[in-house]
Structure 1
């Protein structure tokens, strides 16, 4: 560009050069570089560069006056400057609207009305004024370059006026023009003027060709240039924001970038705008979200803002159903219908057809569930996303709030609390986590599980198990399909298996847990977990067998001790946590369980009838507040193993059993009386059919 300017510098005529490139391609930056290059050459006659941005003016009058004013300032320099400025001023007076003449060209409206009439009458011929101006400029031999940027932003009538001014007024000796614009936008604006019209699309192109003597095209960035520029900006941003991405995160971002972002981040402006968006919005999320997801979502917010806004309102669809009813509702919708719904969302969000599949792949890289929906898969087989990712239901809102919401909990606080618990230290982060267990137990256990499972060191795992056991007793049982208590149990099992303690380490751990509220049911779950380790843990034999054996032995000792402490209580007064151990005891050591129950019956503290009655099961609706419990049935096989059916029938009396009015109590509220009645009714059915 600077070389082209050098060739124009010695020409006595006027010229119009076009710098053509799409929005954001760097036209303004290239102009600035070319001007600096020309200034550095120190060649006479040197250029005078004057910038004129027609987009800054609100109406046609202001635009016309400003153009003439810029022209006056550009050519009115040097030793002949005063004469040239006067000549331009005289020309401007005769061209500009009367109401604007005075302020810009020095006309005093305090003059008598006759003087104004003389001006209107035009005592001087405008052509003569222009010839005089041309003579002065030709003698001055001072090259001037007027730079007109952002032409593609003008309204059609404004654009046409600028072109008329350049073509008819501004073509003066040694005065050159550089017009910078996006060709597609400019042609569109020209076609909407009365001069060009829309009948023949070629007319706008022909009009430009008559205007422009030299065309300079901004070369498109090559893929390697885009990658280099973006990498340089990302590196600089990563240092300033202290961004950290693991290998998987870098791979995910690289895949999204190569698959679609590279095609859209095709101009310097697009790249810089994208980077500035990330820099401006990441501060509140440092260490709280997945960096790769934030980078990709930031691009989506910048390039496809309408789709981004819609995604923010589709949390359930993109992260998984929030509750059982949502899951049932979504599962009933046909895959094709869900795909069609999302395609309508893309259309409503004005995603260009040529970009639709690429944008869908980008969204799919963020939300695996969306990828399944877009491809019309029958179901989504993936599990919950890892910590920090936008597709995780506990992190989704952070990405759109650009901070940790008030009803959320900082990952940094969770991480500090987990490490503090593992070393036996109490601090504010631990106190905050305990409070979270009371108010949002599901969120608390999900967060703790994520950080606890990521710990590489097994030191302190027994302290984590004990701490979780204390919280377990404080967590209400919400009676859902997979309750918060279930999650605490699963995490404790995982930590125990990861720890794989020896019997000398296991004994004090089990002993402490057994003394805690709800500790006995948790021990039952821990012992059961040693038989079926989760698939993400690989424990070699004989370690697993030894752990299962030691856990079983210690557990049976604790169970026997718990029942011994409750020996004086009746069946229905036996604490629920103790009674819950009876079935596991029967499963692990049937003889010991039967003998202990038999001793209670022999001492007439318990009756077989009451034992069977309390073994009756009950059920309640899942996922509702304050569920109502109803009797559901009685397993006679368990009753038979524990107290013997023949002995039970003998105790109650066959005649009494068979003479009872056959009114079902299934579905009744569980009480001692209804439970006993259920036993009688179940036995009558057994005696009549002979089956268990």
Structure 2
């Protein structure tokens, strides 16, 4: 009584008919930590999928109160179910179940001992959906390494970056043999997750696709920075630098020059993207 968790669960949203009791919640965590199978754990996993935000708040509350949590096992449960989250968004659509899972996963990963982080992330990333969650959790843990044009990492998490990048490379292998225009939204999110965790690995892999002629720069740009709404949103300086890093500055500038000088074949969004990027790259001589 009196806790944020209790108020959230019983006063703000009301008690759901299938609410997981505190006793069942505790039993599920014990079963998970012991590697056992039980009805409480099955109910817990079902609630993770069906009521993600509420369950994430319960885990956060337990952690904030200093309660013991099987962090590694919880991370794996979240990774295994990340692509199957069904609960509705909250806070006017701002808090999606995926975002809620990413936040709690980042906090749980911070509780894992440094030598174990690489193993935990590698297991989480055994599926493409799990890899996306692993990237988000690792980004939360290792934010200091996330700069627009990062240096080669030599830090304590380098092994984790390498092994997570290896997993992502495997998941993206089919996409790497198709045209860039065919990249799915899930594959694009995985590429950006790779950028946040092992940027040099992502840059090298993308460069190989471009060098081999499997991908072309402009279709790749329109997928990495897809059209969402009209009127089109301006590309900001940070996005421009990230794209220049992943694609290569010289390659990007050459592409922008080519299309800016012959814009008649471009679609409306392609033209907007070329002009917007050119302004930030300082190659748009015609801009005011």
| TM-score using structure 2 length | 0.74
Which stretches in structure 2 are left out of the alignment for 5+ residues?
Answer: 145-154
SS at match of 2:208: helix
**Paired residue for 2:164?**
555
SS at match of 2:183: coil
**Paired residue for 2:10?**
395
**Paired residue for 1:350?**
none
**Paired residue for 1:601?**
210
- The 3 A distance-change label for structure 1 pair 683 and 417 is closer
| 1: CA distance, partners of 2:55 / 2:242 | 37
SS at match of 2:78: helix
CA shift at 1:607, angstroms? 0.3
| 2: CA distance, partners of 1:674 / 1:680 | 10
Is 1:574 equivalent to 2:189 in the alignment? no
| 2: CA distance, partners of 1:532 / 1:597 | 23
Is 1:531 equivalent to 2:142 in the alignment? yes
Question: Whose Rg is larger?
Answer: 1
SS at match of 1:480: coil
CA shift at 1:522, angstroms? 0.9
SS at match of 1:605: coil
SS at match of 1:499: coil
> How many residues were matched structurally?
266
Q: How does 1:396-545 map to 2 (within 5 A)?
A: 396=11, 406=17, 408-451=19-62, 454=65, 456-457=67-68, 460-476=70-86, 478=89, 480-502=93-115, 505-532=116-143
SS at match of 2:61: helix
- The 3 A distance-change label for structure 1 pair 419 and 651 is farther
| 2: CA distance, partners of 1:405 / 1:646 | 56
Task: Describe the superposition over 1:154-182 as per-residue Cα deviations: whole angstroms up to 9, x where unpaired.
Answer: xxxxxxxxxxxxxxxxxxxxxxxxxxxxx
Q: How does 1:88-487 map to 2 (within 5 A)?
A: 290=1, 385-388=3-6, 392-396=7-11, 406=17, 408-451=19-62, 454=65, 456-457=67-68, 460-476=70-86, 478=89, 480-487=93-100
SS at match of 2:233: strand
CA shift at 1:610, angstroms? 0.8
- The 3 A distance-change label for structure 1 pair 455 and 421 is farther
**Paired residue for 1:656?**
262
CA shift at 1:606, angstroms? 0.6
CA shift at 1:584, angstroms? 4.9
Which stretches in structure 1 are left out of the alignment for 5+ residues?
Answer: 1-289, 294-384, 534-544, 621-628, 662-672
Is 1:679 equivalent to 2:273 in the alignment? yes
**Paired residue for 2:219?**
610
Higher helix share: 2
| 1: CA distance, partners of 2:225 / 2:62 | 40
Task: Describe the superposition over 1:37-61 as per-residue Cα deviations: whole angstroms up to 9, x where unpaired.
Answer: xxxxxxxxxxxxxxxxxxxxxxxxx
Is 1:638 equivalent to 2:242 in the alignment? yes
| 1: CA distance, partners of 2:277 / 2:67 | 55
SS at match of 2:181: coil
CA shift at 1:576, angstroms? 3.3
| 2: CA distance, partners of 1:439 / 1:591 | 37
CA shift at 1:585, angstroms? 4.1
| 2: CA distance, partners of 1:412 / 1:619 | 45
Give the conservation status (yes or no) of the 8 Å contact 2:128–2:168: no
C-alpha RMSD over aligned residues: 3.6
Give the conservation status (yes or no) of the 8 Å contact 1:571–1:610: yes
Give the conservation status (yes or no) of the 8 Å contact 1:614–1:675: no
CA shift at 1:449, angstroms? 3.3
| 1: CA distance, partners of 2:234 / 2:225 | 6
Between the two structures, name the one with larger relative contact order (CA 8 Å, sep ≥ 6): 2
| 1: CA distance, partners of 2:68 / 2:275 | 56
Give the conservation status (yes or no) of the 8 Å contact 1:475–1:485: yes
**Paired residue for 2:151?**
none
Higher strand share: 1
CA shift at 1:568, angstroms? 0.7
SS at match of 2:9: coil
